[in-house]
Structure 1
Amino acid sequence: MPGIFFSNTSSTELKEAEGKVPKRKHKALTDLRNYLKFMVPHLEAGIKSSNSKNVLLSAEEVSQWSQSLEKLLTSQNGQDVFREFLRSEFSEENIEFWLACEDYKKTKMDNLSCKAEKIYEEFVQSDAAKQINIDFHTREATAKMAQMPTPTSFDEAQKIIYILMERDSYPRFLKSKVYLNLLNKLQDNSLN
C-alpha cells in the first residue's frame, strides 16, 4: 500500500497557497461586478421608450436571453454579459472560440488560411493558451481541416463548444446573480 508523504511546507506557505485560488476566483468575480457596475448604469442611460430607436438594453431584451442560447448570442450586449460570466467561471475561451468561428465563416477565401492558423493555434492545438474542451478525434480532424481551410473547417468543433455552453454554462448563467440582478434592475427601471 502506498504511503502518504508530507512535505516540509510550513503552515504559512499552505495558507498563502490556499489564498491564491480564492483570490484568483475573487478577482474574476470582482471584475465581473465592476463590469456590471459600469455597464448597468451605462446601459440604463440608453434605455428609452419602446418606440425609440436608441434602445441599448431593455428588460425585454434581457428577458429574451432566457429563451435560448442562440437569442443570447445574437445580442451584442448578451455576448458581453455572458462573456463576463464565463470569465468568472474561467471558461471564456468557449465564447471566444465560438465568436472567432462565426467571424471565420465570413472571411474571404484568400484570408482563410491566415485566420484558420490563428484560430487553431489559439484554441485547438493541444498546448493552446485558450485550449477548448473537445475530444481527441475532433481535435485531430480540426487540425487536418485547418491545414486545407474551407469556411466549414471549424464547424464540428464549434458545434461541440456550442452544445457545451448550452448544456453547462448557459443554465448556470440564467440562475446567476449577474443575470437575475440585471434583469430585475431593468424591470424595476421600466416600471418607474
Structure 2
Amino acid sequence: MKESSVASTNMAFTDCMTPTELPAEKNGMRMKNWRNRIGLFLKPNLSKHTKNRSHRPSSDDLNQWAQSFDKLLSHKYGKAFFLIFSKSEFCEENIEFWTACEDLKTITSHAKLASKANSMYEEFIRDEAPKEINLDFHTKNAITQSLHDLSASSFLAAQLKVYSLMENNSYPRFIHSDLYRGLCVTSTAEEP
C-alpha cells in the first residue's frame, strides 16, 4: 500500500491528521502556533504571592480531565485547550460542531432554532460544507429531513457520533500530548 493510501486510511478511522502525517515544516509550524496561543498558560507564575490564578486550570482540574472526557468538555478551559489541540490535528470541526449542538439545545425561540440549525447544516453537514464532519449517509439524511420539522434534538444522533469519535480518537491523544503535559508541569510547579 502506498504511503498516501495509508494516510487516507488513517484519516478514515480517526477523522484527524496526526502531527506525524504532516510535512516536517508544517508540523513544526503547527506546534509552534499552539505554543504561542497558550504561552501564558505554560509559563509558571514566578510570584508565589499571586492569589488570582483563575486564568489557569489547577492540577485537580487537569487530573479530572484525564479521568473523563465529560469533565474536560464541561470545563471552560478544558474545552478551549481541547479546541487548540484539535486545531493542531486539523479536526477542530468536531469540537466546534459538538459545541454548536450544545448551544442549539438552549435556544427556545423557534425562529432562532431554525436559523441556528440551518447555519449548522450549511457549515457542518451538507456535502462539501466548509467544516464538513464525518457522518454516515443515514445520519446526514435524517438531519436533512428534520430541517423541515425542527426540534432541539434534530442533531442529537450526529452529536453523539461526533462525541464518540472525539472520545475514542482525539481525547486519548490530547491526554498524551505535549500540550497537556506542559499544562501539568506548569500547574505542578505552581502548587504551594
SS in structure 2 at match of 1:65:
helix
Counterpart position of 1:163: 164
Q: Which runs of 5+ in 1 are unaligned?
A: 1-19
Deviates more, 1:73-82 or 1:145-154: 145-154
**What is the TM-score with the length of structure 2 in the denominator?**
0.79
Contact 1:48–1:54 under 8 Å retained in 2: no
| Deviation of the 1:55 alpha carbon | 3.4
Contact 1:44–1:186 under 8 Å retained in 2: no
Q: Does 1:120 align with 2:110?
A: no
Question: For residues 153 and 73 of structure 1, do their structure 2 counterparts lie closer, same or farther at Cα, with a shift above 3 Å needed?
Answer: same
Structure ranking higher on relative contact order (CA contacts 8 Å, 6+ apart): 2
Deviates more, 1:114-123 or 1:101-110: 101-110
SS in structure 1 at match of 2:129:
coil
Counterpart position of 1:76: 76
AA aligned to 2:54 is V
CA distance, structure 2, for counterparts of residue 149 and residue 97 of structure 1: 17
CA distance, structure 2, for counterparts of residue 172 and residue 71 of structure 1: 16
CA distance, structure 2, for counterparts of residue 72 and residue 27 of structure 1: 26
AA aligned to 2:101 is C
Deviates more, 1:108-117 or 1:20-29: 20-29
Deviates more, 1:176-185 or 1:27-36: 27-36
| Deviation of the 1:53 alpha carbon | 8.4
Counterpart position of 1:28: 30
Q: Which runs of 5+ in 2 are unaligned?
A: 1-21
- Which has the higher Rg, Structure 1 or Structure 2? 1
Contact 2:139–2:157 under 8 Å retained in 1: yes
Question: For residues 76 and 155 of structure 1, do their structure 2 counterparts lie closer, same or farther at Cα, with a shift above 3 Å needed?
Answer: same
Root-mean-square deviation (Å): 2.4
Counterpart position of 2:105: 105
Alignment of 1:19-98 (within 5 A): 21-41=23-43, 55-56=54-55, 57-98=57-98
Q: Which runs of 4+ in 1 moved over 4 A?
A: none
Q: Does 1:139 align with 2:140?
A: yes
Counterpart position of 2:153: 152
| Deviation of the 1:162 alpha carbon | 0.1
**What is the TM-score with the length of structure 1 in the denominator?**
0.79
Percent identity (aligned): 36
Question: For residues 59 and 44 of structure 1, do their structure 2 counterparts lie closer, same or farther at Cα, with a shift above 3 Å needed?
Answer: farther
Question: For residues 21 and 129 of structure 1, do their structure 2 counterparts lie closer, same or farther at Cα, with a shift above 3 Å needed?
Answer: farther
